[in-house]
């Protein structure tokens, strides 16, 4: 029996409890290293246990200046949320399907938007949507992609969404929206921030150009959420755009319940921001999110292994999500609620 096989089998046999082990915790807080791995080796995908190990492979593949753009993430807020499991419930059959804007999704996990993905892999977005499709996951495509939207959408075997930014000249933006919808994108996300003031007329212009559901990305307060719903957006993504670590700015998961309460079920609330484990995803769903967008871990997979790395990352997260739900006695998304988690103040 090989050393690599022994390591993988032994750790996976620990199941969900391995996620809390000092060994794997160290992978999150220190320079990512795989136990027993020689420096610089690119491990086979079959040996990878979690997305932190995928990050280590991406770091070995990419120039430091490129890797720094997608490295790390602030996970302190997730560590303050703990589960209150219920053991005496039959967790079978498990069902993670969710419907968003008329589309039935395999799991409540989407690939979030990221610009210029050829920085991480020669095929860029083409490899990303192939990997996402193989994992049955919807990808949100940035308007600042390194490939034409028509080519990306044609490569995807499943649903795609399209993301834009408000600009002083909205002509090219609206032209891009029209092209994306014609290519098959089903939802358009407007990202607030990016140095540009979001005029609500922008949302109206995008809606008229798209004639599809329009989602506002970048909401971080109950007040913003209420305004957005009042202005007619079809959905909200709680997000700190680009994972910017601004001192004093709350993490998306910390404001999620306030946004969900403010929306009052009128539109679906999604979230992104430093999701690295299936347990993170279940915490967000329990606090009221309809779905979670994952960005950096998917780019680690893309950088390390191309489309197959994307698929691997998403399948790891799907498996961890299923396992966490099962161990908490919650076999369906409808059973997830705030009673299953406790949020510590420190």
- Tokens for 232, please give them: 């007619």
The pLDDT value given to residue 254: 93
What is the per-residue pLDDT across 7-48, written as a single tens digit (0 to 9) for each?
Answer: 344 334 334 333 433 334 444 444 445 555 555 788 999 889
Look up residue 193 and give its DSSP letter: B
Structure pTM? 0.86
Angle between helices 296-305 and 307-327 (to 10 degrees): 140
CB 138 within 8 A of CB 103: yes
Distance between CA 78 and CA 279 in Å, rounded? 9
Distance between CA 329 and CA 6 in Å, rounded? 30
C-alpha torsion sign, points 131, 119, 117, 280: positive
Main-chain dihedrals φ then ψ at residue 119, nearest 5 degrees = -65, -30
Question: Which residue in 285, 281, 296, 202 sits closest to 240, CA to CA?
Answer: 296
Q: Which residue has the higher pLDDT, 3 or 344?
A: 344
Distance between CA 294 and CA 162 in Å, rounded? 15
Residue with tokens 């607030």: 192
Helix (H, G, I), strand (E, B) or coil at 314: helix
- Tokens for 320, please give them: 């961890």
Average pLDDT over residues 288-305: 97
Proportion of the chain above pLDDT 70, given as a percent = 83
What is the per-residue pLDDT across 75-84, written as a single tens digit (0 to 9) for each?
Answer: 889 999 999 8
Task: Using the CB atoms, write b or e for 198-213: b if 16+ within 10 Å.
Answer: beeebbebbbebbebb
Is the N-terminal amide bond of 91 cis, ω within 30° of 0?
no
Does residue 108 have a pLDDT over 50? yes
Q: How many CB atoms lie within 10 A of CB 17?
A: 9
Does residue 297 have a pLDDT over 60? yes
Look at 44-58, 74-88, 297-311 and tell me which has the smallest mean pLDDT: 74-88
Helix (H, G, I), strand (E, B) or coil at 42: coil
Q: How far is CA 26 from CA 14, 32, 53, in A?
A: 17, 8, 11
- Tokens for 209, please give them: 């150009």
Q: What angle do CA 187, 144, 183 make, to 5 degrees?
A: 45
Does residue 74 have a pLDDT over 90? no
Secondary structure E strands in the chain: 81-83, 98-100, 103-105, 109-111, 139-142, 160-164, 188-191, 214-219, 235-238, 269-272, 291-294, 341-343
Question: Which residue in 4, 53, 3 sits closest to 31, CA to CA?
Answer: 53
The pLDDT value given to residue 17: 36
What is the per-residue pLDDT across 144-201, written as a single tens digit (0 to 9) for each?
Answer: 999 999 999 999 998 999 999 998 899 999 999 999 999 999 999 999 865 556 779 8
Q: How far is CA 183 from CA 65, 148, 155, 166, 342, in A?
A: 33, 10, 11, 21, 44
CB 46 within 8 A of CB 312: no
The pLDDT value given to residue 120: 96
Distance between CA 113 and CA 34 in Å, rounded? 28
Distance between CA 294 and CA 282 in Å, rounded? 13
Does residue 1 have a pLDDT over 60? no
Distance between CA 88 and CA 177 in Å, rounded? 49
The pLDDT value given to residue 246: 57
Average pLDDT over residues 116-125: 96
Does residue 55 have a pLDDT over 50? yes
The pLDDT value given to residue 284: 97
C-alpha torsion sign, points 259, 192, 106, 182: positive
CB 306 within 8 A of CB 123: yes
Does residue 267 have a pLDDT over 90? yes
Helix (H, G, I), strand (E, B) or coil at 199: coil
The pLDDT value given to residue 247: 56
Look at 58-67, 89-98, 176-185, 275-284 and tell me which has the smallest mean pLDDT: 89-98
């Amino acid at each position: 029996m090989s050393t690599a096989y022994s390591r993988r089998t032994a750790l996976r046999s620990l199941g969900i409890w391995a996620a809390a082990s000092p060994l794997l915790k160290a992978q999150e807080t220190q320079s990512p290293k795989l136990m027993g791995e020689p420096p610089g080796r690119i491990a086979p995908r079959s040996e990878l246990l979690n997305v932190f190990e995928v990050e280590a492979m991406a770091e070995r593949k990419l120039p430091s200046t490129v890797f720094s753009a997608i490295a790390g993430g602030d996970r302190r807020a997730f560590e303050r949320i703990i589960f209150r499991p219920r053991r005496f419930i039959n967790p079978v059959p498990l069902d993670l399907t969710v419907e968003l804007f008329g589309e039935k999704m395999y799991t409540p996990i989407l690939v979030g938007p990221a610009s210029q993905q050829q920085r991480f892999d020669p095929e860029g977005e083409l490899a990303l949507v192939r990997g996402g499709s193989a994992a049955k996951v919807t990808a949100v495509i940035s308007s600042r992609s390194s490939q034409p939207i028509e080519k990306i959408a044609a490569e995807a075997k499943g649903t795609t969404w399209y993301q834009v930014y408000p600009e002083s000249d909205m002509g090219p933006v609206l032209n891009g929206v029209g092209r994306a919808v014609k290519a098959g994108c089903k939802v358009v996300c407007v990202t607030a921030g990016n140095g540009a003031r979001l005029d609500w007329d922008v949302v109206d212009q995008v809606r008229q150009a798209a004639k599809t559901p329009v989602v506002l990305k970048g909401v971080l307060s109950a007040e913003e959420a209420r305004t957005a719903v009042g202005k007619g957006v079809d959905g909200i993504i709680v997000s700190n755009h680009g994972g910017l670590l601004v001192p004093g700015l709350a993490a998306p998961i910390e404001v999620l319940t306030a946004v969900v309460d403010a929306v009052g079920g009128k539109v679906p609330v999604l979230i992104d921001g430093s999701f690295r484990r299936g347990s993170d995803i279940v915490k967000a769903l329990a606090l009221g999110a309809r779905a979670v967008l994952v960005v950096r871990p998917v780019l680690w997979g893309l950088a390390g292994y191309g489309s197959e790395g994307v698929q691997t990352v998403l399948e790891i997260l799907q498996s961890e999500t299923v396992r966490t739900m099962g161990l908490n006695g919650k076999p369906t998304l409808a059973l997830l609620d705030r009673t299953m988690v406790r949020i510590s103040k420190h």
